[in-house]
Amino acid sequence: MERALRAEAASEVPCGECTACCTSSQFVHIDADETETLARIPNALVFPAPRSTDGTVVLGYDQHGKCPMLIDDACSIYPHRPRACRTYDCRVFVATGIDLEEDNQSAIAARARRWRFDVVDDTDRVAYDALRAAATLVRDRRDLTSTQRAVFAVRQYGKR
């Protein structure tokens, strides 16, 4: 996830049949440089991101909370899906011990809670404890979303 946050790689989440993050009323930000993605999304489905001056747009969702690019339970633009979708990793909540609390994301939270990490040696234990310790710095920051708190913890952990 550290590499994904630095835009060096996509997250490699074995989603299987799960589409929780595509059906949980999420606004997907798409940066102006994501031209391959933007070329595949009808203009009518995006709008300028609030307070953004750099051309970032937002892909919304329908009355059921579903991304309009999700068709027949699959992303219709998967090879060109937005960067935000490529880097999303619901395992971050279990890894940091930060629960996803937002009401409209309960399906993601339920799926995320099922992840388990194998801590097989001291190196794993040190890393796991360090990430949990980083999370304690923001665990009570109610001005941040759950996702922002979890991502902060990963970034903080990266500075260790």
Catalog residues that contact ligand SF4 under the rule CB under 6 A: 22, 28, 67, 69-70, 75, 77, 81-82, 85
Nearer to ligand SF4, 17 or 118 (CB): 17
CB 8 to ligand SF4: min, Å: 19
Q: Which is nearer to ligand SF4, 85 or 153 (CB)?
A: 85
Answer yes or no: are the C-beta atoms of 28 and 70 closer than 8 Å.
Answer: no
Output phi, psi for 149, to 5 deg. Answer: -65, -45
Residue whose CB is less far from ligand SF4, 67 or 90: 67
Q: How far apart are CA 139 and CA 95, in angstroms?
A: 13
Least Å from the CB of residue 128 to ligand SF4: 28
Query: Closer CB to ligand SF4, residue 67 or residue 108?
Result: 67
Q: For the CB of residue 146, give the shortest distance to ligand SF4 in the complex, in Å.
A: 18
Which residues are within 8 A (CB) of 108 and not within 5 positions of it... i.e. 6 or more apart? 20, 21, 24, 90, 100
Checking DSSP bridges between strand 57-59 and strand 28-30, what pairing results, if any?
Answer: antiparallel
Comparing CA positions, the residue from 86, 8, 83, 88 lying closest to residue 38 is: 83
We find the least distance from the C-beta atom of residue 81 to ligand SF4, in angstroms, to be: 4
